[in-house]
Amino acid sequence: IVYARITDQAGNVTIINTNGIVVDLTSPELALDPAVDMTDFLAADQTISVMAADPGSGLASVQFTTDEIVPQTGVVTLDEDGQGSFTLANNGSYTLTVIAADNAGNTTSKTRLIKIDKITPDLEISGNPRDYVTSATLGLDPVLGPSGLKLLTVRKDGGAAKDISGSYDDGY
> Which of 26-40, 57-71, 136-150 has the weakest average pLDDT?
136-150
- Count helices and strands (H / E) in the chain: 0, 13
- Strands laid side by side in the 46-53 sheet: 29-33, 46-53, 83-88
pLDDT tens-digit map of 122-143: 988 888 777 888 887 888 888 8
Distance CA 31, CA 156 (A): 53
> Which amino acid, residue 134?
T
> Which of 92-96, 101-105, 111-115, 160-164 has the weakest average pLDDT?
160-164
Nearest to 114 by CA among 33, 51, 10: 33
Confidence band for 42, pLDDT divided at 50, 70 and 90? very high
Q: Return the bridge partners of 79, or none.
A: none
Check pLDDT > 70 for residue 90: yes
Q: pTM for the whole thing?
A: 0.78
